[in-house]
Amino acid sequence: MTTADLHALTGAYAVHALHGEERAAFERHLAVCDACQQEIVEFTATAGRLALASTVRTRPVMREEVLQRITTVRQVSPVAAQLERVRSGALHGGGRLTRWALAASVAAAAAFGGTAVWQHERAQDARHEAAQAQRQAEDLAVVLAAPDAKSRSAKVAGGAGSLVVSASRDRAVFVASSMPAPPRGKVYQLWFADGGKMRSAGLMDPDRSSQAVLMQGAVDGASGIGITVEPAGGSKQPTSPPVALLGVPT
């Protein structure tokens, strides 16, 4: 693949349409190409705006129906299937459950009951997480699509990053491109700089080199942002020198 071919892949990379060797080749090129890094930041922001402009909301009733069925429709577990085989086999062999089959049935029923409770709890957790993720995605798109959105870009830890701020929304989005993974057991943490203090603005996904992150909390007059490497789960205050500092665009 030629350099010219790689330059033409910025749009596809921004919308996660590259896979395998093609993606790996482009990321090697991206690490040394300032022009492509800038295009990735711009394409990512544009993709967010287009997504918001073209999104068609489903009827709220449809969403509720799907989430409700998650908690009521239950798959047949291997334990339940085994219970049915034991019951059928015992009845076929002697017309009544043997002592062993009865014990197995009781044990299986107890296990199945526990599985049903676990499934319900997991469904509740999944519903909450899905709703939270949807709200965050919508808020992120609103910031990127805001008429007064302004951005500032910089080199970040060997990759590239762009801070997008909407004064009318009082929110900020950090768009990362080709950032190297943090050390094992560590995570990149975002901070708002408020005078001489740093205010946590959330964590980045350590498994993604390119991502758009809705920063937690309002900008609220912050003069800039910083990015540090912190223990998994984040810190209350920075524990390492910043890998990047960006001023809030005005």
Tens of pLDDT, residue by residue over 36-66, are 887 777 777 666 655 554 455 556 666 666 6
Tens of pLDDT, residue by residue over 139-151, are 788 888 888 888 8
User: Domain of 36: which CATH number?
Assistant: 1.10.10
DSSP class per residue in 76-135 = PPHHHHHHHHHHHHHHHHHSS--HHHHHHHHHHHHHHHHHHHHHHHHHHHHHHHHHHHHH
Instruction: Supply the pLDDT for residue 83.
Output: 47
Q: Is position 64 within any domain?
A: no
Instruction: Supply the pLDDT for residue 9.
Output: 81
Instruction: Supply the pLDDT for residue 74.
Output: 54
DSSP 8-class letter at 178: S
249 and 163 in contact (C-beta within 8 Å)? yes
Q: What does the mean pLDDT of the chain come to?
A: 74
Q: Do 119 and 165 sit in the same domain of this protein? A: no
Q: Do 136 and 157 sit in the same domain of this protein? A: no
Query: Residue 169 is part of which domain span?
Result: 147-250
Instruction: Supply the pLDDT for residue 116.
Output: 53
b/e per residue, 222-241, with b = 16+ CB within 10 A?
beebbbbbbeeeebeebeee
Instruction: Supply the pLDDT for residue 72.
Output: 63
Q: Is position 68 within any domain?
A: no
Kindly tell me if the per-residue pLDDT of 81 is higher than 70: no
Q: Is position 90 within any domain?
A: yes
Q: Is position 52 within any domain?
A: yes
Q: Is position 151 within any domain?
A: yes
Instruction: Supply the pLDDT for residue 122.
Output: 59
